[in-house]
């Protein structure tokens, strides 16, 4: 009986391992393609589409696929802190789904290329590191990039996100998009511009916390302490 349970546990563990390898490999490929789209867009001299129109399907698919990381953390498929994972993923999902997909001004903002550059480089390295870790070998250069490039990529990404959010809330102030005014049958009021302003304000406490968290992980992984098997 014990052998049967042990075999089932090993089988389940193997399925989870293969799933995580496939997930992280696909994310690596997806974000690599987005980085390729971004580079070729700015190298081309006669773009027929805007930057957002060029990358929209890629960024929507692969950024929203990151929501699965929250699921992985809560199901304990990985050792990542679920709360930290939610903090890391939620702001980007809001920017993509709640800003870029519905407002023109955010798509024309300088924040878009800044965010896309920081996101894509970060994720190619991060998911690549995870994939290699699951396969059993991570070259030191990949590990170093994973825990070093965030030093300048995080501030660039946050700047891009905030610029997109700022542009979007200015547009929503004029259009009233997704805003519910009184009176209505539900006796409910919601101001989407105010919601985006609150989201922007949340960066004040959360960004320093996440940034310092990454420095802590960097010391653990690159500073000679016991390596962390799976990190956010």
Active site residues: 154, 161
Specify whether the CB–CB gap between 149 and 227 falls below 8 A. no
Specify whether the CB–CB gap between 98 and 136 falls below 8 A. no
Could you please report the per-residue DSSP string of 172-183? HHHH-TT-BPSS
| Residues 6 or more apart in contact with residue 100 via CB below 8 angstroms | 52, 56, 59, 106, 107, 112, 164
What gap in Å lies between CA 153 and CA 27, rounded to an integer?
18
199 in the Ramachandran plot: left (φ > 0), alpha (ψ -120 to 50) or beta?
alpha
């Amino acid at each position: 009986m014990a052998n049967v349970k042990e075999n089932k546990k090993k089988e389940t563990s193997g399925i989870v391992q293969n799933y995580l390898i496939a997930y992280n490999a696909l994310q690596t490929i997806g974000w690599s393609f987005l980085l390729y789209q971004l580079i070729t867009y700015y190298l081309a001299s006669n773009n027929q589409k805007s930057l957002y129109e060029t990358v929209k399907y890629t960024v929507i698919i692969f950024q929203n696929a990151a929501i699965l990381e929250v699921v992985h953390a809560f199901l304990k498929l990985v050792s990542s802190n679920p709360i930290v994972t939610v903090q890391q993923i939620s702001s980007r999902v809001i920017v993509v789904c709640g800003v870029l997909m519905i407002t023109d001004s955010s798509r024309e903002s300088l924040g878009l290329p800044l965010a896309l550059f920081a996101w894509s480089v970060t994720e190619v390295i991060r998911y690549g590191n995870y994939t290699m870790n699951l396969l059993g070998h991570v070259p030191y250069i990949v590990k170093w990039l994973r825990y070093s490039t965030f030093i300048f990529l995080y501030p660039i990404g946050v700047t891009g996100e905030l610029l997109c959010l700022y542009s979007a809330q200015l547009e929503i102030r004029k259009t009233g998009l997704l805003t519910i005014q009184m009176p209505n049958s539900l006796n409910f009021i919601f101001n989407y511009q105010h919601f985006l302003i609150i989201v922007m304000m949340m960066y004040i406490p959360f960004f320093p916390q996440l940034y310092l968290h990454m420095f802590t992980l960097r010391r653990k992984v690159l500073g000679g302490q016991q390596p962390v098997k799976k990190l956010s």
